[in-house]
Amino acid sequence: MLHGHGDDGYKYGREILADFSTNVWHGREPAGMKQYVFERWNHVNRYPEVVSESLRERVAAHHNCTVNEVIVCNGAAESIYLIAQLFTGKKSTIVIPAFSEYEDSCLIFDHEVSFLSWKAALELPFLKSDLLFICNPNNPTGHVFPDLEYWLKLNPHCTFVIDEAFIDFTLDLKSIVPLVKRYPNLIVMRSLTKTYAIPGLRLGYMLAHEEIVNRIMAIKPPWTVNAMAAAAGEFIFANWSDIQLPIEKILEDKARFVLELKQNDAIQIEDSSTHFFIGKTMVKSARELKEFLLNNHGLLIRDAANFRSLTRQHFRIVTLSFQYNQLLIKALEEWKALYY
């Protein structure tokens, strides 16, 4: 799906006052990153490292693993498509609702695709597939899966792809990365764009058993991570302890935001463990709600109707600053007054 994601304000030709449609951290990039990256502008006059060797070493050191267990990618999207290519023609299961790129990549590479609801997955079923995609915390719901290790043990024949793009936005879950050394059927994808607010640079990585990494590296194109993105990654790992999210404050703001939204009878808000969450309009559709908010208030939300298992009434929103949150709360009250 080339279109149909959040952060699509560029398509509407008008100013977006507040963007609730993307689950990227709203606090912008870490202080000092822009200067660090721009000081390396001369790096664009040369080809970047073929497979981001320097950044690969930094990631490995950070996670206390070997370089041969790390692949640096052009965002999580490249990771997803490389994995799908590696398993061309295999059977894949996707836990839904889910990021559409899992399904799209599998279809491109001729997978036999099946779907498993989040509720059914929590029962830890035996899998008949070769590959399983699950986002933990989940996008778009913000739910967390509590015991993936036991499910891994039950299905040693199936390779688990765990997307941890939003792991930094919850306190209810610990990363599964330390298990990579113990489970050859585990691939963990991480994103550096959401937490550090640099989605325009496209940067992420995955960790897996050396044998899987070698197979993926054999099909990975060269130079997919540009010099500026690599510099941003170097800055992140060099300054890790100083640039982590104020997660307690973020989740406090989210709790206050949700509490106020739940006073509105025209919408329903689902609980989540992250700063983003799913809502449902009780009148009209999410598409119509999105158009109303955009045209009348300059506010952008994510129409979530194209997530499998969700309906035309579902939307996803993220917690922004108190000022912007209040704008959405008041706009939704207007929606209620007009249509509910």
In the chain, where the domains are located: 9-25+245-339, 33-242
Q: Which CATH number fits domain 33-242: 3.30.930.10, 3.40.640.10, 3.40.50.2020, 3.40.50.300?
A: 3.40.640.10
Give the pLDDT confidence of 175-226 residue by residue, as tens digits: 999 999 999 999 999 999 999 999 999 999 999 999 999 999 999 999 999 9
- Place 3 in a pLDDT band, splitting at 50, 70 and 90: very low
Tell me how far CA of residue 147 lies from CA of 121, 126, 175, in angstroms.
11, 14, 11
Q: How far apart are CA 227 and CA 271, in angstroms?
A: 40
Q: How far apart are CA 96 and CA 304, in angstroms?
A: 13
Mean pLDDT for the stretch of residues 155-173: 97
Task: Identify the pLDDT of residue 2.
Answer: 43
Strands 186-191 and 159-163: parallel
Position 10 pLDDT exceeds 70:
no
Task: Identify the pLDDT of residue 14.
Answer: 73
CA 241 to chain centroid, in Å, comes to 22
Contact 109, 133 (CB under 8 A): no
Give the pLDDT confidence of 47-78 residue by residue, as tens digits: 999 999 999 999 999 999 999 999 999 999 99
Give the pLDDT confidence of 100-116 residue by residue, as tens digits: 999 999 999 999 999 99
Cβ neighbours around 338 below 10 Å, total: 12
- pTM, to two decimals: 0.94
| Residues whose CB falls within 8 Å of the CB of residue 224, separated by 6 or more in sequence, listed in order | 73, 74, 78
Query: Does CATH number 3.40.50.2020 belong to domain 9-25+245-339?
Result: no
What element of type H or E holds 152? helix 148-154
